[in-house]
Amino acid sequence: MIKVLHNNSCSKSRGILEFLDENNVPFEIIDFVENPLTEIEMKTVLKKLNMNVHEIIRKNEAVFKEKFADKTLSDEEWIKVLIENPELIQRPILIKGSVAMVGRPIENVKFFIEK
């Protein structure tokens, strides 16, 4: 089963859920805005994504521009920022076993669910 780290205010995230549903792919929704990830969960997701924390920060978000654009923080500090400001996390993130991906573009999601 695929786990989807989901932000309901994001049209791309809602679109991925619709795509999975239409293609009869079983999935579990994890609303990371309503239920923020723990530090350990965030680190686990980053490891499964094979990405560093800077790669999953949404730098176009207003909160990033207002509070963090001029900051130089350590990876640990950025993880805490993302936990406290989950709207800054790229989404959706799909997790299948020991691997994960940011669910864009849709072509990559198709490949991900087929492997």
| pLDDT band (50, 70, 90) for residue 115 | confident
Q: Report which of 64, 102, 61 is spatially closest to residue 81, judged by C-alpha positions.
A: 64
Report the topology of domain 2-114: Glutaredoxin (3.40.30)
Residue 109 CB-density burial (10 A; 0-12 exposed, 13-18 middle, 19+ buried): buried
| pLDDT band (50, 70, 90) for residue 106 | confident
DSSP, res 89: B
Q: What's the pTM value of the predicted model, to 2 decimals?
A: 0.92
Distances (CA, A) of 92 to 39, 47, 67, 77: 18, 16, 23, 22
β-strand partners of 100: 95
Task: Report the chain's mean pLDDT, rounded to a whole number.
Answer: 95
- Residues serving a catalytic function are 10
| pLDDT, tens digit (0-9, with 9 covering 90-100), for 7-52 | 999 999 999 999 999 999 999 999 999 999 999 999 999 999 999 9
User: Amino acid letter at 12?
Assistant: K
